[in-house]
Structure 1
Amino acid sequence: MQHIKQPITRFIIRLWRGPATSYQKEILPGNSHNNSPQHHNTTTIDAEKSNPEGDSYIDLLCFASALYLIIPSAIFLFYFAPWPFFTSIAFSAVIGSTTHRYLADIDALKIPKFRTGQLINLFFALMLTWISGILPPFAENIDWYKHYAIFDSLTNNQWPPILITVEGPYVLRYCLSYYIIPSLAAKAFGATHLSYLIYLWTALGYFLVLSLAFNSRSTCLKAVFYGLIFLLFSGADILGYLHTGFMVTGIKYHLEWWAKVGELASVITNAIWTPQHALAGWIISFLIWRYPKWSLPHSFVLLASTATWSPLVLVGICPILLFTAWQSGLRHIISWSNIVFGPALLMITISYLLNGSEGIPKHLIWNVESFSAADWILFICLEFGFVVTALLFICNQNRLLLCYIACTLLTLCVFYVGHWNDLLMRGSIPAIGILAVLSSHAIVDSPLQWRKAPLAILLIFGLVTPINEIRRAVTEKRIQQERRVSISDIINESPYLAPQYAIPIDPSSSALKFTTVLNLEDISFTTFGQAKFNLDQLVISSDKQTDAALVSEWLNLPPGVYRIKASLDYDVESQSEEQHAAHISLHGVRLLNKIPQSAGINQLFEVYFKKDSDACQLSFGLGGWSTGKGVIQIRDLQISFVHIENPN
Structure 2
Amino acid sequence: MTFTISVHTMFSAQRLAVALSLLTLGYLTLPVLVFLAGWLWWPWALALTALTVTAFGILAKRILATPNLTGVRVDALVPWHTLLFSLLPLSAITLISGVGGYGPGNIDWVKHHAVLYDLTSQPWPVIYSLPGGRAALVYNVAYYLPAAVVGKAFGWAAANHALFATTLLGAWLVSLWLVVFCPRHALLAVGVFTFFSGMDSLGFLLHFPVPHRIDFLLHQTHIDWWTAAWQLPSHLTGIFWSPQHTFAAWLATALLLHVYWRDCHFGVEWFLIALLLFWSPFVAMGALPFVWVIRHMRTAPMPEAAPRTRWDRVPALAAIALAIVGILFYAAHYPEIPSDQFGVPQPATTPANGFFFAAKPPTQPSEWSAALQDYVICAALEFGLLAMVLTANRHALVPRERRVLLVSTLFLLGLMLFRYGFYNDLVMRASLPALFALSLLLVLALPQIRTPASRTIIALIFAFGMFTPLLSIRGNVESLSRAPSLWRCPQGIHLTVAASHYRRDYPLVLAQYLARTENIFFRVFAKSTP
Normalized against structure 2, the TM-score is what? 0.77
Q: Which residue of 2 aligns with 1:211?
A: 176
Residue 66 and residue 490 in structure 1: after superposition, are their counterparts in 2 closer, same or farther (change >3 A)? Answer: same
Q: SS of the residue aligned with 1:476? A: helix
Which residue of 2 is the match for residue 300 of structure 1? 270
Task: Please tell me whether residue 70 in structure 1 is matched to residue 69 in structure 2.
Answer: no
Contact map agreement 1:240 1:258 (CA 8 A) in 2: yes
TM-superposed CA distance for 1:113, in Å, is: 8.7
Partners of 2:462 and 2:333 in 1: CA distance:
41
Q: Deviations over 1:534-567 (max 9, x none)?
A: xxxxxxxxxxxxxxxxxxxxxxxxxxxxxxxxxx
Match of residue 419 from structure 2? 416
Indicate conservation of the 8 Å contact 1:118/1:216, yes or no.
no
For structure 1, the residue ranges without an aligned partner over 5 or more in a row are: 1-47, 50-54, 512-644
Out of 482, 486, 494, which is 1:486 matched to? Answer: 494
Query: Which of 92, 96, 100 pairs up with 2:57?
Result: 96
The one-letter code sitting in structure 2 at the alignment partner of 1:172 is: L
Please, which of 346, 349, 370 is the counterpart of residue 323 of structure 2? 346
Alignment map for 1:237-316 (pairs within 5 Å): 237-245=200-208, 252-292=220-260, 293-294=263-264, 296-316=266-286
What's the % identity of the aligned pairs? 25
Aligned counterpart in structure 1 of residue 444 of structure 2, from 441, 444, 447: 441
8 Å contact 2:118–2:494 — kept in the other structure?
Answer: yes
CA contact (8 A) 1:246 1:260 kept: no
Code of the residue aligned with 2:472 in structure 1: it is: E
Which position in structure 2 is the counterpart of 1:501?
A: 513
User: Considering only CA atoms, is the larger Rg found in Structure 1 or Structure 2?
Assistant: 1
1:556-590 deviation digits (Å, cap 9, x = unpaired): xxxxxxxxxxxxxxxxxxxxxxxxxxxxxxxxxxx
Residue in structure 2 matching 1:471, options 474, 491, 512:
474
2:187 pairs with 1:184: no
CA contact (8 A) 2:271 2:316 kept: no
3-state SS of paired residue (2:87): helix
Distance 1:106 1:362 in 2: 47
Q: CA deviation at 1:120?
A: 2.2
Deviation at residue 389 of structure 1 after TM alignment: 0.5
Distance 1:366 1:357 in 2: 24
1:119 to 70, 84, 88: 84
Comparing 330-339 and 306-315, the one that deviates more: 330-339
Higher helix share: 2
Which amino acid counterpart does residue 268 of structure 1 have in structure 2? L
Larger RCO, structure (CA 8 Å, separation 6 or more): 2
SS at match of 1:170: strand
Picking from 30, 43, 61, the partner of 2:20 is 61
C-alpha distance in 2 between matches for 1:410 and 1:81? 39
| Structure 1 residue 436, shift from structure 2 partner | 0.8
Shift of residue 60 of structure 1?
1.2
Partner of 1:84: 45
Q: 1:336 aligns to what?
A: 313
In structure 2, relative to structure 1, the CA distance for the partners of 1:345 and 1:71 (3 Å cut) is same
2 CA distance for matches of 1:217 and 1:413? 30
The reply on whether 1:363 has 2:363 as its aligned counterpart is: no
- The 1:113/1:498 distance shift into structure 2, 3 A limit, reads same
Whichever structure has more strand as a proportion of its residues is 1
Q: Residue deviations 1:184-212, cap 9 Å, x none?
A: 11222322222221111101111111222
Q: Note if contact 1:62-1:294 (Cα within 8 Å) is conserved in structure 2.
A: no
2:110 to 145, 154, 171: 145
Structure 1 114/262 Cα, relative in aligned 2: closer, same or farther at 3 Å?
same
| Aligned mates of 1:106, 1:70 — CA distance in 2 | 24
Deviations 1:445-475 (A, max 9, x none): 5444543221121111111111111112112
1:386 — aligned with what?
Answer: 385
AA partner of residue 515 (structure 2): I
Deviation at 1:491, TM superposition (A): 5.3
Whole-angstrom CA distance in 2 between matches of 1:246 and 1:488: 39
Mark the CA change 1:483 to 1:342 in structure 2 (over 3 Å): closer, same or farther: closer
The reply to whether residue 401 of structure 1 matches residue 404 of structure 2 is yes
Change (3 A) 1:502 1:113: same
Q: 1:94 to 1:137 in 2, by over 3 A?
A: closer
Change (3 A) 1:154 1:304: same
Distance 1:449 1:226, change over 3 A: farther
Q: Distance in 2 between matches of 1:89 and 1:446?
A: 50
Q: Distance in 2 between matches of 1:102 and 1:295?
A: 9
CA contact (8 A) 1:116 1:217 kept: no
Shift of 1:501: 0.9
Q: Are residues 374 and 103 of structure 1, via their aligned partners in 2, closer, same or farther at CA, if it must alter by over 3 Å? A: closer
1:455 and 2:467 correspond: no
4+ runs deviating over 6 angstroms = 477-480
Residues 114 and 261 of structure 1: CA distance in aligned 2, closer, same or farther (over 3 Å): same
Q: Structure 1 CA distance, aligned partners of 2:417 and 2:315?
A: 31
- Counterpart of 1:534 in structure 2 is none
The reply on whether 1:157 has 2:122 as its aligned counterpart is: yes
**TM-score (ref. length: structure 1):** 0.64
Cα 1:377–1:446, aligned 2, differ >3 Å: closer, same or farther?
closer
Specify whether residues 146 and 419 from structure 1 end up closer, same or farther in structure 2 by C-alpha distance, changes over 3 A only: same
User: By how many angstroms is 1:407 displaced?
Assistant: 0.7
Aligned length: 454
1:224 to 163, 184, 187: 187
